[in-house]
């Protein structure tokens, strides 16, 4: 939301008052907090303290590298829940200090500090590293304010606030060349500078400014991040109202955010996810290929078996089969009952599927809505399990399901009932849940079971409690580390309940690229695991789109074939082309590659969740923060820390990509390229068929891989007969931490050079300088 008309004028219909000076500073007894009293005019006489608002700014040392900033106008305003669940694993201790000097008062929280100016009649707060070597951002003149809409002309009007909106806003400075990333799974430009962004979950697909996953965290390329502690709608003007500032505003009487100092982006994410929660571990089987029935397609047991048998006949390894919406009757979603006309014996069918070896696990689609055609609706309504309107009616509309209601997860009994429904699914053999929807949660004319919650805050936060409930139900049934979701909606903290997928995309190269931008942005908000609908959700992908998307999708952390009104099995895409570049062969190759990568990929995943980093797709800037170009790359990504992937977004197979400094070896052949360099039409022009794409391994890497044509994602890759070790331009510091399929750290492999021969922990490795592969 914009509050000004250019630099000089206030926007029409708005009244804005800014903190004009820091009148006084109070220090808490424990030395962890400063309270600043800031009037909206400079106080030069006693009379200036009358008939003017003040704003209170509290600076608090939270943990190492984290300071909170809370701005309040009227302290008597009720701060209703829900609140973000912060420090879920316990709050770290912090040594805070307050020092006064001629420059001002400095509050230090480990590695980060804030200095409040000592200049009289001045408003100035600077954030910097504790040692003073890094300037981060500032709150300067006219950077903290309150606003009314419509504009008030006298304070007397605020006696009745029912028709007046009240906002708190802050503006942090943007330095020259500063860039901003994150803010959830956003499909537009990767760098958010210049954008107006509303953090308000919406079901808008992947080709708009809306987002399913709005996360109130952004990352700067200057070594810090900002987490906005506000579940309600947050509006940001990222260099779009004032080009040198990030403006954050909320409707209400208070605004709180945390500044998090790295200085590296990886350190920022580690500290941010200590604050909001680290992702849970997911089982190794979930990394394999998932096949869906697609959305509106017609299917039954025969159709499902035909798909699965077709995949096995073609040597395409498949781990999970997913039943999408129409496993239930139309108009009855979501009543958790298999459609008897198509699935007369669901438990028997799922048992037969698993016993036949056609599939390892089964997933089903659900949402948290109940259509009124189902008898379940009557039960849920009578027992008070559904969200209500203020007049006592059940909240209903005909959007999505006719007359549907919304499960009220603030009601403990509704939660028990919902988990009971899930347990019946688990009893049939269901292993995983796709938690779809959860974005269109009304915030007007609604009454939650918990009368204390703020409906505006519940809109985004609903995604957290919905996914948390289902994830914990899976953990209760299958074990802490065996739970896995396929979730669409999210807010800050939902990374704790993996995994998330990118939502409804079209079957085009453009949608493939925007999906990648969404995954990169979400990864920069602490989400370790992410997937995408391979082939695109909407439309009918041609063979070229399908095969390029297969390459991209199988190199994400998780991989699912899914569509809207057409099947995604490869032989239906290109009339069962049996050539080496047909859809079947391409899917087989990259599915087997995923299985082969498991020793590397799963070990990278264990390290990633420990720190709150993305596995894949990982933005280049996380690995190469000093490389200015790496911050611009939104058409490529890192698969873990060692492998660079550049998907192909063209009909011709031509691709342009960037390699940071060092030597990079093609995963496919002996080619070694030198960075930093852009490679494309003019330099080392690469044109790829459908069996390859640019996949380059970083200098100094040790890769532990499975054997060629591996078809499992769960196997004992720690045994020599099940793996291969590759070295890529090794050096004395080359090492890798290896985990087994249970997520247990097994060993750390290190290299050493003896008389010109490289060894890995005493095992001789054949190595040719510049060669791509070295086996022992």
Cα–Cα distance for residue pair 618/635, rounded to 1 Å: 11
Average model confidence (pLDDT) across the chain: 95
Cα–Cα distance for residue pair 613/560, rounded to 1 Å: 22
pLDDT at 445 exceeding the cut of 70: yes
Whether 705 and 683 map to the same domain: the answer is: no
Quickly state the pLDDT bin for 752 (edges 50, 70, 90).
confident
Q: What would the pLDDT profile of 642-680 be if each residue is shown by its tens digit? A: 999 999 999 999 999 999 999 999 999 989 999 999 999
Res 682: pLDDT? 80
What does the angle CA 634 – CA 640 – CA 643 come to, to the nearest 5 degrees?
75
- Residue 445 in any domain: the answer is no
pLDDT at 180 exceeding the cut of 80: yes
- Residue 188 in any domain: the answer is no
Res 219: pLDDT? 98
Res 104: pLDDT? 97
Quickly state the pLDDT bin for 767 (edges 50, 70, 90).
very low
pLDDT at 763 exceeding the cut of 70: no
- Residue 222 in any domain: the answer is no
Cα–Cα distance for residue pair 487/462, rounded to 1 Å: 13
Res 400: pLDDT? 96
Mean pLDDT across 433-439: 98
CA distances (Å), origin 223, targets 83, 219, 718: 27, 8, 37
CATH value at residue 347: 3.20.20.80
Mean pLDDT across 723-747: 94
Are 738 and 729 a contacting pair, CB within 8 Å? no
Q: Which of 172, 187, 203 is the last residue of a domain?
A: 172
Whether 710 and 680 map to the same domain: the answer is: no
Q: What is the β-pairing status of strands 195-199 and 144-149?
A: unpaired
Q: What would the pLDDT profile of 326-371 be if each residue is shown by its tens digit? A: 999 999 999 999 999 999 999 999 999 999 999 999 999 999 999 9
The first and second tokens of residue 62, run together, are: 């939270």
- Residue 215 in any domain: the answer is no
Whether 685 and 767 map to the same domain: the answer is: no
pLDDT at 317 exceeding the cut of 60: yes
Q: What would the pLDDT profile of 262-299 be if each residue is shown by its tens digit? A: 999 999 999 999 999 999 999 999 999 999 999 999 99
Q: What would the pLDDT profile of 521-577 be if each residue is shown by its tens digit? A: 999 999 999 999 999 999 999 999 999 999 999 999 999 999 999 999 999 999 999
Q: What would the pLDDT profile of 584-638 be if each residue is shown by its tens digit? A: 999 999 999 999 999 999 999 999 999 999 999 999 999 999 999 999 999 999 9
Q: Is the dihedral of CA 605, 609, 615, 620 positive or negative?
A: negative
Cα–Cα distance for residue pair 479/260, rounded to 1 Å: 33
Quickly state the pLDDT bin for 770 (edges 50, 70, 90).
very low
pTM of the model: 0.96
Q: Which domain holds residue 640?
A: 634-694
Whether 468 and 586 map to the same domain: the answer is: yes
Number of domains comprising the chain: 4
Quickly state the pLDDT bin for 127 (edges 50, 70, 90).
very high
Res 683: pLDDT? 83
Res 681: pLDDT? 79
Whether 683 and 670 map to the same domain: the answer is: yes
Whether 679 and 706 map to the same domain: the answer is: no
pLDDT at 323 exceeding the cut of 80: yes
Q: What would the pLDDT profile of 371-398 be if each residue is shown by its tens digit? A: 999 999 999 999 999 999 999 999 999 9
Whether 555 and 425 map to the same domain: the answer is: yes
Task: Kindly list the catalytic residues.
Answer: 436, 439, 504
Whether 665 and 554 map to the same domain: the answer is: no
Q: What would the pLDDT profile of 26-45 be if each residue is shown by its tens digit? A: 999 999 999 999 999 999 99
Q: What would the pLDDT profile of 40-83 be if each residue is shown by its tens digit? A: 999 999 999 999 999 999 999 999 999 999 999 999 999 999 99
């Amino acid at each position: 939301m914009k509050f000004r008309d250019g630099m000089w004028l206030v926007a029409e219909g708005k009244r804005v008052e800014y903190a004009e000076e820091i009148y006084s500073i109070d220090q808490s007894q424990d030395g962890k907090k400063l309270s600043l009293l800031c009037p909206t005019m400079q106080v030069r006489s006693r009379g200036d303290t009358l008939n003017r608002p003040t704003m209170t700014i509290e600076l608090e040392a939270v943990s190492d590298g984290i300071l909170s900033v809370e701005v309040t106008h009227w302290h008597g305003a009720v701060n209703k829940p829900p609140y973000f669940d912060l420090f879920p694993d316990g709050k770290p201790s912090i040594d805070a200090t307050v020092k006064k000097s001629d420059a001002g008062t400095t509050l230090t929280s480990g590695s980060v500090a804030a200095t409040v100016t000592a200049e009289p009649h001045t408003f100035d707060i600077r954030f910097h590293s504790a040692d003073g070597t890094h300037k981060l951002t500032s709150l300067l003149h006219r950077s903290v304010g309150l606003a009314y809409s419509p504009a008030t002309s006298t304070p007397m009007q605020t006696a009745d606030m029912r028709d007046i909106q009240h906002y708190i806003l802050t503006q942090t400075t943007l330095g020259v060349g500063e860039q901003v990333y994150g803010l959830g799974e956003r499909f537009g430009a990767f760098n958010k500078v210049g954008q107006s962004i509303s953090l308000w979950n919406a079901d808008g697909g992947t080709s708009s400014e809306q987002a399913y996953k709005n996360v109130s965290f952004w990352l700067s390329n200057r070594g810090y991040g900002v987490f906005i502690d506000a579940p309600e709608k947050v509006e940001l003007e990222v260099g779009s109202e004032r080009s040198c500032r990030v403006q954050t505003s909320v409707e209400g009487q208070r605004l709180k955010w945390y500044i998090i100092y790295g200085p590296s982006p990886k350190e920022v994410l580690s500290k941010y996810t200590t604050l909001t929660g680290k992702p849970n571990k997911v089982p190794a089987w979930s990394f394999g290929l998932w096949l869906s029935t697609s959305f509106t397609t017609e299917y039954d047991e025969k159709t499902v078996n035909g798909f699965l048998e077709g995949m096995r006949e073609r040597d395409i390894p498949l781990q999970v089969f997913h039943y999408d919406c129409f496993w239930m009757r139309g108009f009855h979603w979501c009543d958790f009952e298999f459609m008897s006309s198509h699935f007369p014996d669901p438990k028997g069918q799922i048992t037969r599927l698993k016993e036949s070896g056609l599939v390892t696990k089964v997933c089903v689609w659900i949402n948290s809505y109940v259509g009124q055609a189902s008898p379940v609706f009557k039960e849920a309504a009578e027992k008070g399990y559904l969200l209500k309107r203020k007049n006592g009616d059940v909240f209903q509309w005909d959007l999505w399901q006719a007359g549907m209601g919304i499960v009220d997860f603030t009601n403990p009994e509704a939660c028990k009932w919902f988990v009971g429904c899930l347990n019946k699914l688990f009893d049939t053999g269901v292993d995983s849940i796709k938690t779809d929807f959860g974005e269109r949660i009304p915030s007007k004319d609604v009454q939650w079971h918990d009368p204390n919650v703020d409906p505006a805050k519940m809109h985004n936060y609903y995604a957290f409690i919905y996914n948390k409930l289902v994830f914990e139900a899976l953990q209760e049934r299958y074990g802490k580390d065996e739970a896995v979701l396929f979730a669409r909606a999210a807010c800050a903290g939902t990374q704790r309940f993996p995994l998330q997928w990118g939502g409804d995309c079209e079957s085009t190269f453009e949608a493939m690229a925007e999906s990648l931008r969404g995954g990169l942005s979400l990864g920069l908000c602490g989400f370790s695991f992410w997937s995408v609908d391979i082939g695109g959700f909407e439309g009918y992908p041609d063979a070229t789109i399908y095969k390029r998307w297969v390459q991209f999708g199988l190199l994400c952390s998780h991989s699912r074939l899914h569509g809207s009104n057409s099947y995604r099995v490869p032989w239906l895409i290109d009339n069962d082309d049996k050539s080496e570049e047909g859809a079947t062969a391409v899917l087989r190759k990259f599915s087997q590659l995923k299985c082969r990568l498991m020793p590397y990929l799963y070990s990278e995943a264990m390290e990633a969740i420990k720190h709150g980093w993305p596995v894949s797709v990982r933005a280049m800037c996380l690995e190469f923060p000093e490389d200015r170009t790496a911050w611009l790359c939104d058409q490529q990504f890192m698969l873990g820390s060692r492998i660079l992937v550049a998907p192909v977004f063209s009909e011709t197979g031509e691709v342009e990509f960037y390699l940071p400094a060092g030597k990079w070896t093609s995963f496919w052949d002996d080619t070694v390229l030198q960075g930093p360099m852009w490679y494309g039409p003019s330099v080392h022009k690469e044109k790829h068929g459908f069996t390859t794409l640019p996949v380059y391994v970083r200098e100094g890497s040790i890769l532990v891989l499975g054997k060629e044509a591996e078809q499992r994602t769960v196997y004992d890759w720690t045994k020599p007969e099940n793996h291969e070790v590759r070295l890529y331009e090794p050096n004395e510091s080359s090492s890798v931490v290896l985990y087994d399929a249970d997520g247990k750290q097994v060993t750390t492999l290190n290299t050493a050079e003896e008389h010109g021969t490289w060894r890995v922990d005493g095992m001789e490795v054949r190595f040719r300088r510049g060669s791509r592969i070295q086996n022992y």
